[in-house]
Amino acid sequence: MASVLVASNRGPVSYVLGDDGSLDARRGGGGLVSGLSAVSAQDSLWVCAALGEGDREAVRQGVGEPGVRMLDIDPEVYADAYNGIANSVLWFLHHQLYDIPREPVFDAGFRRRWKSYRSYNRAFARALAAEADEGAAVLVQDYHLALVPGQLRALRPDLRIAHFTHTPWAAPDSLRMLPADIREELLRGMLGADRLGFHTPTWARAFEDCAGELGRTRVAVYPLGVDADELRALAYRPEVDEKLARLRAETGGRKTIVRVDRTELSKNILRGLHAYRELLTTHPEWQDRVVHLASAYPSRQDLESYRAYTAAVTELADEINAEFGTAAWQPVLVSVEDDFPRSLAAYRLADVALVNPVRDGMNLVAKEIPVVSESGCALVLSTGAGAHEELKDDALTVNAFDVTETAEALHRALSMPPAERADRTKRLAAAATALPPQRWFLSQLEALEGLEP
């Protein structure tokens, strides 16, 4: 039994199944991992889903890490819940990604997938109920598990339950696209928590507006920051130094505009590339004087819309290179590989950081680059990023949809005097590290444990 429990779709460890049937455990990082490490391993438990065949085989063999319980959920149920609802409905609603004339379509197939989403959440609720001590603190993570608080409350009314949403929360008009009974089930699931957490006041108010007369619970804001010491230690490893030397050679001493994203529709990579093209057109003095380093990790490639978006990013970068490039200058260096050392090297090299999502719960890249940039960087940041609420005073603010405004902001950023850029970077880094991951987690845990049973 455990007195502190965390529940999330992805856990702190995954297993790779070898050709000989062996299992190789690979541990992850992040705020939850570092936060839970501050709690005694004997008193804590992380409940997560078995995501791949290696994870499922580990469950079947009874292999596991101390303090971790993996749930072997039926693959069809998981696919319907994860891809069919969490990533194709809830994610699209919260990020306002629907092509309204064509989607969403809530038909019998949607109802079947929602039933799987409910079952997936119930599996977590039952596992948590079975593992929790009397009055334990349970911290549930994100939109994948939005029904768990209500389901768990029905099973174990003695528990202290928190839920944190890492994405934005949909505006009432967007959430009203859901069928009325599904919308009410979603909101009541969330309202089963004693405390709800969001990255920004905007997302917190949006939830309260959606809940309306259905009920109230405690809602708080915890803007996740970065751990400066850990990030800098990662950024100065030998493998990053090697990537940095390669990027310096490829950029040839030119100024750099850096972005690092998953090829996620909400990240707005295509408009960012259009803005860079417009910069080179309207300010030709920057031709052969700047390179755009774009890291775009493939994301959710099992969804056709994401595969098409990834291909479009590469195609547009190729068009810009063909239009402006010379034998000695490639305007865009795009990487569509999951290469974290290269991203950290790009952080260190950044003169300008471009972060222009349509909507984003936080966006830690906007916080990480100022912490690591060697010469200081100017941050071009859209209002759709949750990080904008903390960083807006020292960022160059843009409308995510306004390509011309973004192009002009890039020009201002590239033209910024070094002293101003250094001062802004210092203040951006201070704001970015105000609530590092372990403190972020423990603040929520302390608030939850401080509630009356």
Whether residue 307 is predicted with pLDDT greater than 90 in this model: the reply is: no
Structural domain of residue 265, as residue ranges? 228-433
Residues 331, 183, single domain; the answer is no
Closest CA relative to residue 290, chosen from 319, 318, 332, 249: 332
Mean pLDDT of the chain: 93
Question: Token match 């850990």: residue?
Answer: 230
For residues 48 and 19, state if they share a domain.
Answer: yes
CB atoms < 10 A from the CB of 328, how many?
7
Does residue 181 form part of some domain?
yes
Residue 191 lies in a domain: yes
* Dihedral class, residue 300 (left if φ above 0, else alpha if ψ from -120 to 50, else beta): left
Q: Based on the domain organization, do 192 and 150 belong to the same domain? A: yes
Higher per-residue confidence, 296 vs 173: 173
Question: Which letter, b or e, does each residue of 428-448 get, where b requires 16 or more Cβ atoms within 10 Å of its Cβ?
Answer: bbebbbebbbbbbbeebbebb
Report the greatest alpha carbon distance in the chain. Answer: 70
State whether 215 and 251 are in the same domain: no
DSSP string of 403-435?
A: HHHHHHHHHHHHH--HHHHHHHHHHHHHHHTSS
CATH of the domain at 65: 3.40.50.2000
Q: Is the pLDDT of residue 451 over 90?
A: no
pLDDT in tens, 116-137: 999 999 999 999 999 999 999 9
At 331, is the secondary structure helix, strand, or coil? coil
Q: What is the pTM of this model?
A: 0.94
The answer to whether 440 and 225 are in contact (CB under 8 A) is yes
Give 151-156 contacts, CB < 8 A, sequence gap 24+: 151/121, 151/122, 151/125, 151/189, 151/192, 152/125, 152/128, 152/192, 153/192, 153/193, 154/192, 155/125, 155/126, 155/129, 156/128, 156/129, 156/132
Predicted pLDDT of residue 408: 98
Mark whether 390 and 297 lie in a shared domain.
yes
Average the pLDDT over 219-236 and give the result. 96
Q: How far apart are CA 298 and CA 249, in angstroms?
A: 25
Is 10 a member of any domain? Answer: yes
Residues 353 and 443 in one domain: no
Same-domain pairing of 130 and 250:
no
Residues 270 and 305 in one domain: yes
Residues 6+ apart with CB under 8 A from 243: 339, 341, 342, 344, 345
Is 60 exceeded by the pLDDT of residue 293? yes
C-alpha span between 292 and 224 (Å, rounded)? 28
Q: What are phi and psi of 125, to 5 degrees?
A: -60, -45
pLDDT of residue 40: 56
Q: What angle do CA 92, 97, 103 make, to 5 degrees?
A: 80
The rounded distance, in Å, linking the Cα atoms of 430 and 422 is 12
Host H or E run for residue 196: strand 195-198
Residues 6+ apart with CB under 8 A from 12: 27, 28, 32, 33, 36, 46, 48, 65, 68
Q: Taking residues 374-400, what's their average pLDDT?
A: 97
Give dist(CA 55, CA 25) in Å, integer: 9
Q: Express each pLDDT in 406-420 by its tens digit.
A: 999 999 999 999 999
Task: Give the per-residue pLDDT at 34.
Answer: 61
Residue 381, SS3 per DSSP = strand
Tokens read off for 401: 């949809």
Compute the average pLDDT of residues 214-240.
95
Residue 445's pLDDT is what?
A: 94
More confident residue, 181 or 337: 181
Kindly report whether the peptide bond that precedes residue 104 is cis, defined as omega within 30 degrees of 0.
yes
Q: Where residue 207 falls among pLDDT bands split at 50, 70, 90?
A: very high
Measured between alpha carbons, how far is 371 from 364 in angstroms, rounded to an integer?
11
For the segment 377-401, the average pLDDT, to the nearest whole number, is 98
Which tens digits make up the pLDDT trace of 19-65? 887 888 887 766 566 656 666 566 899 999 999 889 998 888 888 88
Q: Classify residue 453: in a domain, yes or no.
A: no
Poorest-pLDDT segment among 41-50, 174-183, 201-210: 41-50
Note the pLDDT of residue 41: 61
Same domain (yes/no): 220, 365: no
In sequence order, what are the beta bridge partners of 7?
47, 140
Is the same domain home to 301 and 415?
yes
- Using alpha carbons, list the distances in angstroms from residue 116 to 35, 224, 275: 31, 31, 41
Q: Coil, strand or helix: which one is 156?
A: coil
- Residue 33 or residue 271, greater confidence: 271
Q: Tell me: do 85 and 143 sit in the same domain.
A: yes
195, part of any domain:
yes
Q: Are residues 97 and 14 in the same domain?
A: yes
Phi, psi of 293 (to 5 degrees): -95, 110
Calculate the alpha carbon distances from 207 to 163, 201, 203, 267, 387 in Å. 12, 10, 6, 22, 18
In a domain? residue 253: yes
Count of domains for the chain = 2
Q: How many residues does the chain have?
A: 453
